[in-house]
Amino acid sequence: MQTLIPYLFPLAATEFDREYLQMKDKGVVALDWVRHLHVHKRKQCTILIIIPGQTGTAVSVSKVCSVAAKKGYRPVVFNQRGFGNSMLTTPKILSNGDPYDLRQVVKYINGMFPKPLITMIGYGTGCSLVLSYLGEYGSSANISAAACISPCFDTGERFSKGLLGLYDMLYLLKLKVIINAHCSSLSRFINFKKMLRSWSFKDFEEVVYSKFYNFANMDDFWEKNNPLRDVDEIAVPLVFINSLDDPFFFRESIPYDLFQYYPHFFMVTTGKGGHCGFVERICDVSWSEALALDYIDSVLEFAKKGYTINYGKNRLRSTI
């Protein structure tokens, strides 16, 4: 129920203005900006980039957008090319481990506002994109703080098995509907008949991404798209929020050693909460979203008071 409630009762009261941004390779991504910002504004422009899971849209994260706007953020939902009800202008879609488009979006926002503070929240598979971006670009990522809600750490084994395979089927079905909408553009690269017959995530990713990335085998693909492949380079305060009853990953896959080794990583685990659920009251912001925003607020407040944080392997130094 925790997993299903956010999908059964989405809050669509937040209004968005959609902006299409062209990438260097002529591909297009969609940015959904919250339309009506509240009177309260921060002294420095603070952007909150929200990255839903692949099957999500701005509506699915509208609750956190509304709360963030009241706190003085400028929330924007990042929709990957071809997803989030966006157009596909080139015959290419990117995997969650490829931060090519996200990098250009961050650069665009930096040029759009005077010295903005940019923060991020990722959901589910969107967390893989957040971690891939932060790891690949390290100290040049230009992100002040980030939060990952229900991340799936083990790329190759991140989806449920056995009786919980129903979640796989529902998720894959929605992905197929989204990608099938672009069949005329992608038919040269994706065997759609084979894709529609794929009911394991391994088979699905192999059919969809093999010609785009030319990987030798699935192990090669997962290695290159592992969200923690460049974890040593992440230089941003980061909080992870997971529930131990999340049907999309195995609790044994949580890398607790990371949070002992890296002082700027924080892990919050709960016994219940499902996948991106953590619901306390229907049609209200979830406990995890409130915590993520509080965490980002605290990091920004810490930085505003004149503290600088130098991160390195197994060390944390704070100075005024």
Q: Low-confidence residues of the chain, pLDDT below 50?
A: 311-320
The predicted-structure confidence for 162-210, as pLDDT tens digits, reads as follows 556 677 788 899 999 999 999 999 999 999 999 999 888 888 999 999 9
List, in order of start, the domains of the chain with CATH numbers.
Answer: 5-158+228-319 (3.40.50.1820)
Q: How far apart are CA 267 and CA 41, in angstroms?
A: 30
Work out the end-to-end distance of the chain between its first and last CA atoms, rounded to an integer number of angstroms: 46
Q: How far apart (Å, rounded) are the C-alpha atoms in residues 302 and 319? A: 11
What's the confidence (pLDDT) of residue 313?
A: 45
CB atoms within 10 A of CB 33: 17
Residue with tokens 């944080």: 309
Cα distance between residue 123 and residue 170, in whole Å = 17
Q: Tokens 């929330």 appear where?
A: 75
Closest CA to 288 of 122, 144, 57, 84: 122
Distance CA 269, CA 118 (A): 26
C-alpha 320/C-alpha 308 separation (Å) is 7
Mode of pairing for the β-strands spanning 315-319 and 308-312: antiparallel
Question: Position 225: which residue type?
Answer: N
Task: For residues 81 and 30, give the distance between their C-alpha atoms in angstroms, rounded to a whole number.
Answer: 7
E strand or H helix at 269, and its extent?
Answer: strand 265-270
Which residue numbers are catalytic? Answer: 246, 275
Residue 71: name the closest of 119, 8, 106, 108 by CA: 119
| Separation CA 29–CA 303 (nearest Å) | 31
DSSP state of 150: S
Burial class from Cβ neighbours inside 10 Å (0-12, 13-18, 19+) for residue 127 reads buried
Q: How many CB atoms lie within 10 A of CB 221?
A: 22
State residue 11's pLDDT score. Answer: 66
Residues 236 and 144 sit within 8 Å (Cβ to Cβ):
yes
Q: How far apart are CA 299 and CA 237, in angstroms?
A: 7
Element (H, E) at 118: strand 117-123
Q: Which residues pair with 22 in a beta bridge?
A: 28
8 A C-beta contact, residue 51 and residue 126: yes
